[in-house]
Structure 1
Amino acid sequence: MKPQFNIPCVILCGGKSSRMKEDKSLLPFANKTSLAKYQYDRLKPYFKEIYLSSKTDKFDFEANLLLEESLIYSPIIGIDSIISKLNKNDKIFLITVDTPLVEIDSISKIINCSKGYDITVAKTQRVHNLCGVFSSNIKHIVDNMIKNDIHKISHLLEAVRTNIVEFTNEDEFINLNHPKDYQKALNIIS
């Protein structure tokens, strides 16, 4: 199958997982050894390139890695590192490892709605700041935020041309932050 999305996908796996109390990217999911493997295998056929962004190579499978050098846990630092390493790409699709139920059709809708915008993200009852298309032309704004010690994604979304794409299925965008969220997602997928 030829990839349908002509942009790279980066799965963000570098968070602290403090609310889960263990590294959620390594939790088993569905029929895979980890959430990271599940997301990687699920999304790989649809994108021209796919990467895992992480602070270390902690995975039990072969994958294209984008390792973050910073010891600071911040999505802004992660975005800066990703854009720096994939600077040949105009746009990049980002998704967190802990949103395993986002449908390919929804990803397609987000990508299709990204034309003319710096960032295009999903929204259900809340905005899903790290599920969307990010243009590499935001690098100077990201650099400035880091210089000024501003690490909130919402600040970035306000500083650029952002398109917010509405979705109604809350379960599709469930974020596995707590053990109960993980259990709910396991029940949905089975």
Structure 2
Amino acid sequence: MSKTVILSKIPCVILCGGRSSRMGEDKSLLPFSNSNSLTQYQYDKLKSNFEEVYISSKIDKFDFLKNKEKYLILDKGEIFSPIVALQTILQTIKAEKVFIITVDTPLVSIDSINELINSSNESEICVAQTLKTHNLCGVFSTSLVKFINEMLITDIHKVNYLLKNNNTKYLDFPNDDEFINLNNKDEYKRALNIISKSNN
């Protein structure tokens, strides 16, 4: 008898709008595991857990994405800033909360994601923490948009500022490798090696 998968009703958004300056090329389009791109890998994985998965980006560069009018959220303006991306996301999504994850953290498990969601009820923000805080891996309340608007008026673009000045829960996880950011070619190769071993 097959096990019924209960999909999370909280929407999920994959952040893909960074400059990728340390990688030297657009990391969101790099091949990963058996997928044509890191974005498609994350999208396919997350679709197994969420009713709705959105992609946040500066431009449309995703051939695989269906119904782009609904599921592609494009930042406004020229500034490359995760706070600008969050502002656009929280203004667009019609839900109380949204799960946010960056495209360059492909090893975060579905179990850890669900732990973050299940631990987020009493806080405006609930993010993962290992040896460091993973500012953009967690659950964010859409009510934060007013605070973010005020941040941008005063030209504050630090996600840490948002976390420190709101009701944030930091959820500890034991495995730092799970939350590796693929910022450069060495980290990309390391993640490919980890995923290759886990698939064997």
The answer as to 2:61 corresponding to 1:54 is no
Q: Aligned partners of 1:45 and 1:125: how far apart in 2?
A: 28
Q: Could you say which residue in structure 2 is the equivalent of 1:94? A: 100
The answer as to 2:109 corresponding to 1:103 is yes
Deviation at 1:2, TM superposition (A): 4.7
Asked if the contact 1:80–1:139 (Cα under 8 Å) also holds between the matched residues in 2, the reply is yes
Q: Aligned partners of 2:194 and 2:154: how far apart in 1?
A: 41
The answer as to 2:47 corresponding to 1:44 is yes
Superposition TM-score, scaled by structure 2 size? 0.92
List alignment gaps of at least 5 residues for structure 1.
none
Asked if the contact 1:3–1:45 (Cα under 8 Å) also holds between the matched residues in 2, the reply is no
The 10-residue stretch of structure 1 (169-178 or 59-68) with the greater mean CA deviation from structure 2: 59-68
The answer as to 2:41 corresponding to 1:35 is no
Counterpart selection for 1:71 from 78, 96, 101: 78
Q: Aligned partners of 1:136 and 1:58: how far apart in 2?
A: 26
Deviation at 1:102, TM superposition (A): 0.2
Equivalent pairs counted in the alignment come to: 189
RMSD, aligned α-carbons: 0.9
Q: Aligned partners of 1:110 and 1:186: how far apart in 2?
A: 25
Q: Aligned partners of 1:161 and 1:44: how far apart in 2?
A: 28
Q: Could you say which residue in structure 2 is the equivalent of 1:13? A: 16
Asked if the contact 1:80–1:143 (Cα under 8 Å) also holds between the matched residues in 2, the reply is yes
Q: Aligned partners of 2:62 and 2:159: how far apart in 1?
A: 26
The one-letter code matched in structure 1 to 2:12 is: C
The one-letter code matched in structure 2 to 1:163 is: K
- Give the ranges of 4+ consecutive aligned residues of structure 1 lying more than 3 Å apart after TM superposition: none
Q: Aligned partners of 1:118 and 1:131: how far apart in 2?
A: 14
Match of 1:46, SS state, is coil
Q: Aligned partners of 2:95 and 2:7: how far apart in 1?
A: 16
Q: Aligned partners of 2:77 and 2:43: how far apart in 1?
A: 23
Superposition TM-score, scaled by structure 1 size? 0.97
Deviation at 1:60, TM superposition (A): 2.3
List alignment gaps of at least 5 residues for structure 2.
none
Q: Deviations over 1:152-190 (max 9, x none)?
A: 000000110000000010110000001000000000000
Match of 2:32, SS state, is coil
